[in-house]
Amino acid sequence: MKKWIVSTAIVLGLSAVSAEVIPNGSVEAQAKSYNMSEKFAENLRKGTLPRTKGKIGMTYKTLAKKEKGKAIIDGDPPVYRTTIGDNFLFNKFAKNKIPKDAKVKGIFRVYDYKISSKSVKKHFGKSYKAYNQSGKKVPIHVYKTGKYYTHIEVHKGKTYVDVGTKSTIKYVTSTGTWYK
């Protein structure tokens, strides 16, 4: 009986170890890199993201009617988070609320896959380089996308995309002067 218990424990232990060491297909599929589509790039040029009804310059009142979500006033700038995971940044807030006339200055979303930098460069050209607030050169991935600016960062199999006005993207990236 002891031998059976010990052998069962060893088999279960090895299967648990091998399950952690051998990656499954779903993890690899999520880490795959995709090319940015023309439609995605077009949305960024218009100051919006795919599948969202909000855009840069829209008032809070209009956005709240079009997109279900919740206002988060914890920080500066205030954020309106939609049910699909978009975060809208605004230019002002007062008395723990976002005023109805506050305008969207930036939109942020996290994608569960990588967007290839090669495809981004194909649509928008070279990214800006920047100096941080201390005057040190720092790598950033900011692109001029029509009237707006877009920050795209890939980290641990996810892509973080911010689109907004120049001042908003500088705020989000914590950078000072940009140059090509």
Q: What is the per-residue pLDDT across 51-96, written as a single tens digit (0 to 9) for each?
A: 999 999 999 999 999 999 999 887 778 899 999 999 999 988 777 7
**pLDDT for res 31:** 59
- Rounded CA gap, 148 and 144, in Å? 6
Q: What share of the chain is helix, strand, coil (3-state, %, to 5)?
A: 30, 35, 35
Helix locations, 33-86, DSSP H: 38-45, 60-66
Please state, in angstroms and as integers, the Cα–Cα distance from residue 26 to each residue in 84, 94, 119, following that order.
22, 45, 24
pLDDT digits (tens, 9 = 90+) for 123-153: 999 999 888 878 888 888 999 999 999 999 9
Question: pTM for this one?
Answer: 0.77
Mean of per-residue pLDDT scores for the chain: 82
**pLDDT for res 73:** 84
pLDDT at 22 over 60: no
